[in-house]
Amino acid sequence: MFDTARLFSLFRGPCEEIRVDGEIVVHDGHRVIFQSSDYLGEYPMRSLLKPFQLLSTGLTLDTPNQMKWVPCVGSISATKAQVAELREWYQDANSQWLLSKLKLTSQLPADEENRVEAKLQGGTPSPFFHMCFSKHMAILSACQKEGWSLDNYTEVEHPYQNNLFKTLRLALGNQGIRIKTVVDGCKLPSPVLSLSQMAKLYQTLASSTQSSPLSDIRKLMTSYPEWVGGPERVDTLLMQRNKGLVAKEGADGLLGLAVPPSKKYPEGLGIVVKIFSGFQMRLAAIAIAPILKSLGLNALEDYSPDHRLEFHYQPFEKQAHKCWDISPLLSDKLAVWPGDQKFERKISLETLKGNHLTLSSITTTLHLGAHTDAVNHTEKVKSGIDTHPVQTYCGSCQVIEVQKKAAGLIEKKDLENKQISATRILFKTNSFPDPYHFNEDFVSLSAGAIEYLKDNGVILVGIDTPSIDPFSSKDLPAHHTVFSAGMAILEGIVLKDVEEGLYHLSAVPLKIKEGDASPVRAFLTQI
């Protein structure tokens, strides 16, 4: 599950009809100056890599036939005119020989008009229609020039690929970085990078000095934007509307921009957006519209006039995340399970050689306030809380309010009309209203409800009471069901000021060797 922030929503009347989640990063060459959320994942760079793949060939681009190199940095739609020119450029004998070494599948054109015509003429796929055709031909040309093998140029250990990784490390300013790869759709290795690293790379594209190989690539892209994408493609349109801007689409849901230097940003900017709705580039363009407008650039906001657009971030402003502390205050007044060890804090030292210094110790049950139980609390195993993975207690969660009578059980039927939208569920029952007074008639969970949650992918269940089992229970069926399902428990949380909805939970237990439980400092933040 992607764990990140909303970028924008489209409303039809009062109803939120479309919501786009994702990440945006802006880099000025020295640091990240804006990011839309605290979470930054790593993704295959895919076609955003093409300018750097061409750079790594070392080919001389300033030639009489320089147009031949433009589609190497693009993902062309393969219009009829584009394909005709490609065939013209690669009709000589040497090109035909390179074509025989091409490790690229044949496709039909992405351009709708040409695709329809190709289908009417028999629908024969061709490598000339592939968005990565020119890039592969450039790599093969570099292999021929350098004397590298043409038979395995798609392998990650090939000299060309090693040269690409050196190029990326140099641009990122980190010679020691280990670059992971996955196989792209065109069979070439695709580096897996963070969005901040991708944004840094596009900033280097924006700031490259005149007469350098990278500036030659930037000039090719800005001079022939229609060859970077094609008619009505987002990257082409953004470049046509903004002089000097480089834009490049990448699968899936990536869009990279190299913003030319300005008075405010003398080294230019690199901007990368990743949306989590797949290859929907019009949505990616909408997502970065506030940033482009704040830079005085022309944005691309293409959506139905029946919709109302609402953004969930402010460009170049750090987002303030509201936080709810759902832990009761630990003190000797905090109620514990009847007969259990109450919390006690003793001061052992208050002064040291005339200076103020406080040292204290505590004695307490581990099942105190907001806490999590370990498997060995109810099961005959040695596994204590120190063996529980911390990631279980951090991530997206959903607060669900359920009203039951005193001492009632939350059953499966109470949940079947609820939409389970997160892997951590916290139940707000309002049945243990005062953490400093123990009432025995709190609401708890049935084993059937736990089974239902497990079947819906839930990994943690929490409740605003001292236990997920009833006070009178002796065999603790909810606990046993949770642990047999490999789930985790969070008890004793305070949810009186928290509304139903989705949040990010942090409630990491202490690493207590063989501990049967651990107090936690539990809090929620807005997603």
Is 95 within a domain? yes
Is 170 within a domain? yes
Residue 203 shares a structural domain with residue 109: yes
φ/ψ of residue 133, rounded to 5: -55, -55
Residue 24 shares a structural domain with residue 120: yes
At 39 the pLDDT is 65
Q: Confidence band (pLDDT; 50, 70, 90) for 40?
A: low
Is 148 within a domain? yes
Residue 281 shares a structural domain with residue 422: no
Share of the chain above pLDDT 70, in %: 96
At 420-477, the pLDDT tens digits run 989 999 999 999 999 999 999 999 999 999 999 999 999 999 999 999 999 999 999 9
Helix (H) / strand (E) element for 307: namely: none
Is 358 within a domain? no
Q: pLDDT: is 205 or 316 the higher one?
A: 205
Question: Would the pLDDT of 1 be above 50?
Answer: no
Is 473 within a domain? yes
Q: CA–CA separation, 335 vs 330, rounded Å?
A: 10
Q: Does the annotation count 130 as an active-site position?
A: no
Residue 78 shares a structural domain with residue 167: yes
At 69 the pLDDT is 86
Question: Would the pLDDT of 84 be above 70?
Answer: yes
Average pLDDT estimate for 312-320: 72
At 308 the pLDDT is 92
Which range is most confident: 168-182, 355-369, 509-523?
509-523
Of 296, 311, 326, the position where a domain reaches its end is 311
Of 282, 311, 340, the position where a domain reaches its end is 311
At 320 the pLDDT is 54
At 425 the pLDDT is 97
Q: Which of 377, 388, 479, 504 is catalytic?
A: 377
Share of the chain above pLDDT 90, in %: 74
Residue 113 shares a structural domain with residue 194: yes
At 60-77, the pLDDT tens digits run 877 667 788 889 998 888
Question: Would the pLDDT of 316 be above 90?
Answer: no
Residue 292 shares a structural domain with residue 378: no
Question: Would the pLDDT of 38 be above 80?
Answer: no
At 466 the pLDDT is 98
Question: Would the pLDDT of 85 be above 80?
Answer: yes
Per DSSP, the residues of 177-188 read ---EEEE-TTSS
Is 91 within a domain? yes
- Among 11-25, 156-170, 422-436, 505-519, the minimum mean pLDDT is found in 11-25
At 113 the pLDDT is 85
Residue pair 190/45 in contact by the 8 Å Cβ criterion: yes
Q: CA–CA separation, 427 vs 443, rounded Å?
A: 10
Which range is most confident: 14-23, 33-42, 203-212, 239-248?
239-248
Is 42 within a domain? yes
Average pLDDT estimate for 175-184: 86
Q: Confidence band (pLDDT; 50, 70, 90) for 352?
A: low
Q: Which of 330, 271, 397, 311 minimizes the C-alpha distance to 7?
A: 311
At 37 the pLDDT is 78
CATH number for position 393? 3.50.30.50
Domain count, the chain: 2
Of 291, 311, 331, the position where a domain reaches its end is 311
> What are the C-alpha distances in Å from 510 to residues 9, 114, 188, 494?
39, 62, 45, 19
Q: Tokens 């009186």 appear where?
A: 496
Task: Give a three-class secondary structure readout of 402-454.
Answer: CCCCCCCEECHHHHCCCCCCCCEEEEECCCCCCCCCCCCCCCEECHHHHHHHH
Q: Confidence band (pLDDT; 50, 70, 90) for 520?
A: very high
Residue 279 shares a structural domain with residue 373: no
At 178 the pLDDT is 83
Q: CA–CA separation, 155 vs 385, rounded Å?
A: 45
- Among 28-32, 176-180, 505-509, the minimum mean pLDDT is found in 176-180
Strand partners, 401: 428
Question: Would the pLDDT of 350 be above 90?
Answer: no
Residue 26 shares a structural domain with residue 164: yes
Strand, coil or helix: 463: strand
Say which residues have a Cβ less than 8 Å from residue 350's Cβ, sequence separation at least 6. 356, 357, 358, 359
Average pLDDT estimate for 156-162: 95
Residue 294 shares a structural domain with residue 185: yes
CATH number for position 95? 3.40.710
Tokens representing 292 are 């482009």
Tokens representing 299 are 């944005």
Note down the domain range covering 425: 369-526
Using a 10 angstrom Cβ sphere, with 0-12 exposed, 13-18 middle and 19 or more buried, the burial of residue 136 is buried
Residue 99 shares a structural domain with residue 236: yes
Average pLDDT estimate for 22-33: 93
Residue 65 shares a structural domain with residue 162: yes
Whether pTM exceeds 0.85? no
Is 330 within a domain? no
At 395 the pLDDT is 92
Q: CA–CA separation, 148 vs 133, rounded Å?
A: 19
Q: Confidence band (pLDDT; 50, 70, 90) for 403?
A: very high
Residue pair 338/438 in contact by the 8 Å Cβ criterion: yes
Question: Would the pLDDT of 90 be above 80?
Answer: yes
Residue 25 shares a structural domain with residue 107: yes
At 225-257, the pLDDT tens digits run 999 988 889 999 999 999 999 999 998 899 999
